[in-house]
Amino acid sequence: MDLIKITPNKERARNILSMIALIEERIKLQNVEKMAALIISDYYEIIKELITAILLVDGYKTLSHKDLIDYVKEKYKEFSQHEISVLDNLRILRNRIAYEGFHIEKSHLSRNEYLFKSIIIKLRKILEEKGI
């Protein structure tokens, strides 16, 4: 992992949470039939930003999305191997959506949305335990 040691920054983590709230609002407004790929990208963005906030509170930053997932895998044992795999697959899928114009069927979102939400809940709990 390529982590950069920084001074812990709870205020920046709180700012990230306010931006996440806007993304969550956007998800609610999107047409699931047409926008499944964009909704999946938004879930990835929320998860990525929550992990970024955790790193900030822990006194680290990274430029690598892969390192974000590896950090959670190494430091937060409450995540199962399956959840880590879901995160990595979501990262890859989001890259395909963003850089290749990959389209997703609504059924893929329907099958996996509960996993995304459960991971988000766990990440939020970690931040709450850290006073964020």
> If you average pLDDT over residues 14-23, what whole number do you get?
97
CA–CA separation, 4 vs 61, rounded Å? 5
Give yes or no for residue 82 having a pLDDT over 90: yes
Give which of 65, 61, 56, 50 is closest to 121, Cα–Cα.
Answer: 50
Domains of the chain from N-terminus onward: 4-129 (1.20.120.330)
Does residue 50 or residue 33 have the better pLDDT? 50
What is the average pLDDT score of the chain?
A: 96
> If you average pLDDT over residues 78-96, what whole number do you get?
96
Residue 1 is predicted with a pLDDT of 83
Per residue in 45-80, pLDDT (tens digit) is 999 999 999 999 999 999 999 999 999 999 999 999
Residue 67 is predicted with a pLDDT of 96
Give yes or no for residue 109 having a pLDDT over 90: yes
Q: Give me the percent of the chain exceeding a pLDDT of 90.
A: 95
With beta carbons less than 8 A apart as the criterion, state whether 94 and 44 touch.
yes
